[in-house]
């Protein structure tokens, strides 16, 4: 494609690097364009999304697999590889990313974005390379030496200076890509944006991370990877390039965890839905955990959107089925998903290990939580609707306690003091924190929710926007505000093993009365890094519902101040 410049000269906007430099029309053949090869020139390819005449040689130089899929990223000529001029410290941090962080940060479910795309793109694009160094530097930090709630104005230590230096370099290298505003450049910006979101979340800059996420979603719309359907719905259609799908999937997974974080209160809806809508056939067999999780992610997005419509009391969007039909459809799909998941157990456990069992249990827990969420979606303002799902809450806490038990047997896990974060165990995908918080705040059976709170309190890692210590503090505060002295004579019933299932006699206590329950608990994480937590709720009188600040938590003093 060519556009006219102000001087009237044609300006090449696409094509291989060689043709763009020579300002001639490129036929864009892959892996090397015919215009270059027929003239005996070296085709330098199409950025990180296209070929080049030195593909095999570069793969061998960089240690990348040569038998790759057609969508494999192709590095630029070796002279432009950012690692070539890196310091020994940079090489060490990058190797940590390639061998440790890239595998750990994606969590239990392997994503091609982390496993393939990001590693290769960081070898060829300086902006991505420096963003990865900043992210890897944070992840590599000693697990007992980093926390949140830093002192304002304090001088960054050597480690923090390294992180900030490469963060600034990444931003500087992004400027030409934003200036060119072509599709390959914006793809580079999107990959870097995902890294920035992860970096912000790990460093406790939760608001900045959410802003980067929104910026990335806007760029995806500009590029045409997704389309805005209005009313908070972003439509994701299959992309011509599989790498584009990997990028959208990474953003979709990040948006899912933010959606789970805000699910307890009214907020602006933002969901990413595939089109055409994926259905779960009755004879479906999942061949990988990621395949099962992709379907579950879409079901959660539908639940979020259904809950949003119910909260707004606007009925279904024009062109959509009535809310009752949407609700019934999601329920049926969740049931079919569970059946397919159970039928796929043997396939998914081909490499039998404790880790495989853990992943299987984690997805099972999310299916249980999704069933509770959809069954109460049409009554979001009625906290008593949750009381009908005690048996599901019991199943969920058993599943989550089983995850903790398997973790104990596989490694030595110890809670860290204060707000210190175990970076080596931190991930950027969802884990067990969201369902634990859901149980702790939405189940009003004392024994069940207390076990969820206690399980949160023994964790010290992060799962994207979910910080274990902060989540535990908020969960216990909500429980204490709601229960007060209602269960003051429980005594020894509160003394139980974290891995033990609730006994029948422990479930005989009365359920918390509705008048004691907090309506729409909203958690706001403030500061960069986070130094305060604000807990809001909705209170109504005379038909007027207001947003009210209940309590404020200071990270430095580790104290709540009720309002």
Q: What would the pLDDT profile of 338-388 be if each residue is shown by its tens digit? A: 999 999 998 888 876 777 888 999 999 999 999 999 999 999 889 999 999
Separation between Cα atoms, residue 400 and residue 557, nearest integer Å? 30
373 in Cβ contact with 307 (< 8 Å): yes
Question: Closest by alpha carbon to 51, among 193, 241, 279?
Answer: 241
Q: In the 8-state DSSP scheme, what is residue 494? A: G
User: How many DSSP H helices and E strands does the chain contain?
Assistant: 20, 11
180 in Cβ contact with 562 (< 8 Å): no
H or E, element range at 140: helix 126-140
Res 158: pLDDT: 83
Res 15: pLDDT: 73
Lookup: tokens for 64: 């990348």
DSSP per position, 303-349: HHHHHHHHHHT--SPTTS--HHHHHHHHHHHHHHHHHHHHHTHHHHT
Res 563: pLDDT: 87
Domains of the chain by residue range: 81-276
End-to-end CA distance of the chain: 61
**pLDDT below 50 — which residues of the chain?**
1-13, 48-79, 143-146, 150-153
Res 548: pLDDT: 94
Separation between Cα atoms, residue 164 and residue 131, nearest integer Å? 10
Res 9: pLDDT: 42
Separation between Cα atoms, residue 333 and residue 436, nearest integer Å? 23
The owner of tokens 């081909």 is 350
Q: What would the pLDDT profile of 414-467 be if each residue is shown by its tens digit? A: 666 667 788 888 989 999 999 999 999 999 999 999 999 999 999 989 999 999
Separation between Cα atoms, residue 476 and residue 254, nearest integer Å? 26
Res 76: pLDDT: 42
| Model-wide pTM > 0.85 | no
Contacts for 37-46: CB closer than 8 Å, 24+ residues apart: 42/18, 43/16, 43/17, 43/18, 44/16, 44/17, 44/18, 44/76, 44/77, 45/16, 45/17, 45/74, 45/76, 46/14, 46/15, 46/16, 46/17, 46/184
Question: Closest by alpha carbon to 414, among 428, 425, 400?
Answer: 425
Res 93: pLDDT: 93
Separation between Cα atoms, residue 21 and residue 312, nearest integer Å? 54
Q: In the 8-state DSSP scheme, what is residue 134? A: H
432 in Cβ contact with 362 (< 8 Å): yes
Res 132: pLDDT: 96
Separation between Cα atoms, residue 198 and residue 200, nearest integer Å? 5
498 in Cβ contact with 451 (< 8 Å): yes
> How big is the chain, counted in residues?
563
Separation between Cα atoms, residue 187 and residue 47, nearest integer Å? 10
Instruction: List phi, psi (to 5°) of 389.
Output: -120, 30
Q: In the 8-state DSSP scheme, what is residue 361? A: H
Separation between Cα atoms, residue 316 and residue 233, nearest integer Å? 13
The owner of tokens 């359907």 is 229
DSSP per position, 170-215: HHHHHHHHHHH--HHHHHHHHHHHHHHHHHHHHTT-HHHHHHHHHH
Kindly give the interhelix angle for 468-483 and 433-442, rounded to the nearest 10 degrees.
10
Res 48: pLDDT: 43
Strands, E assignment, 73-168 = none
Give the bridge partners for 538, in sequence order. Answer: 547
Res 314: pLDDT: 63
The angle formed by the CA atoms of residues 198, 194 and 249, to the nearest 5 degrees, is 115
45 in Cβ contact with 72 (< 8 Å): no
C-alpha distances (whole Å) from 155 to each of 136, 150, 158, 417, 528 are 21, 10, 10, 23, 15
Kindly give the interhelix angle for 88-96 and 126-140, rounded to the nearest 10 degrees.
70
Res 381: pLDDT: 86
Q: Cβ neighbours of residue 153 under 8 Å, at least 6 residues apart?
A: none
Separation between Cα atoms, residue 413 and residue 410, nearest integer Å? 9
């Amino acid at each position: 494609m060519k556009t006219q410049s102000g001087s009237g000269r044609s300006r090449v906007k696409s094509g291989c690097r060689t043709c763009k430099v020579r300002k001639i029309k490129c036929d864009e053949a892959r892996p090397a364009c015919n215009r270059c090869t027929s003239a005996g020139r070296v085709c330098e390819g199409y950025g990180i999304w296209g070929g080049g005449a030195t593909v095999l040689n570069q793969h061998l130089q960089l240690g990348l697999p040569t038998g790759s899929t057609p969508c494999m990223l192709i590095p630029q000529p070796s002279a432009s590889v950012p690692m070539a001029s890196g310091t020994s410290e940079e090489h060490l941090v990058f190797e940590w990313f390639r061998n440790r962080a890239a595998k750990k940060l994606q969590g239990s479910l392997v994503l091609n974005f982390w496993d393939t795309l990001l590693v290769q793109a960081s070898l060829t694009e300086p902006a991505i390379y420096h963003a990865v160094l900043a992210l890897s530097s944070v992840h590599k930090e000693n697990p007992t030496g980093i926390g949140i709630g830093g002192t304002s104005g304090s001088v960054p230590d050597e480690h923090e200076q390294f992180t900030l230096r490469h963060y600034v370099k990444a931003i500087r290298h992004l400027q030409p890509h934003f200036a060119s505003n072509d599709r390959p450049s914006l793809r580079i910006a999107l990959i870097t944006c995902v890294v920035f979101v992860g970096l912000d979340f790990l460093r406790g800059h939760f608001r900045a991370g959410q802003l980067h996420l929104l910026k990335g979603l806007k760029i995806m719309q500009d590029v045409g990877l997704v389309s805005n359907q209005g009313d908070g719905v972003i439509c994701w259609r299959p992309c011509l390039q599989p790498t584009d799908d990997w990028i959208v999937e990474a953003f979709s997974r990040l948006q899912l965890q933010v959606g789970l974080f805000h699910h307890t209160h009214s907020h602006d809806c933002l969901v990413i839905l595939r089109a055409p809508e994926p259905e779960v056939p009755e004879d479906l067999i999942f061949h990988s955990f990621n395949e099962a999780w992709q379907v579950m992610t879409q079901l959660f997005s539908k639940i979020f959107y259904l809950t949003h419509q119910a909260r707004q009391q606007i009925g279904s969007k024009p062109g959509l089925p009535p809310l009752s039909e949407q609700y019934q459809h999601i329920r049926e799909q969740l049931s079919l998903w569970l059946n397919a998941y159970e039928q796929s157990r043997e396939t998914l456990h081909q490499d039998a290990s404790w880790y495989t069992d853990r992943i299987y249990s984690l997805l099972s827990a999310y299916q249980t939580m999704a069933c509770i969420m959809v069954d109460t979606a049409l009554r979001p303002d009625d906290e008593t609707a949750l009381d009908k799902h005690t048996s599901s809450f019991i199943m969920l806490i058993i599943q989550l306690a089983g995850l903790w038990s398997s973790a104990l047997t596989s490694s030595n896990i110890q809670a860290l003091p204060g707000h210190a974060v175990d970076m080596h165990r931190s991930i950027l995908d969802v884990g067990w924190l969201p369902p634990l918080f859901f149980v702790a705040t939405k189940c009003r059976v004392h024994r069940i929710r207390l076990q969820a709170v206690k399980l949160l309190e023994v964790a010290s890692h992060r799962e994207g926007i979910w910080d274990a210590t902060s989540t535990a503090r908020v969960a216990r505060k909500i429980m204490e505000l709601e229960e007060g002295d209602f269960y003051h004579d429980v005594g020894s019933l509160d003394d139980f093993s974290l891995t033990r299932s609730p006994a029948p006699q422990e479930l005989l206590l009365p359920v918390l009365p509705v008048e004691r329950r907090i309506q729409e608990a909203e958690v706001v994480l403030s500061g960069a890094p986070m130094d305060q937590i604000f807990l809001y709720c909705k209170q109504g009188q005379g038909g007027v519902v207001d947003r009210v600040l209940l309590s404020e938590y200071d990270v430095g003093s580790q104290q709540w101040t009720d309002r």
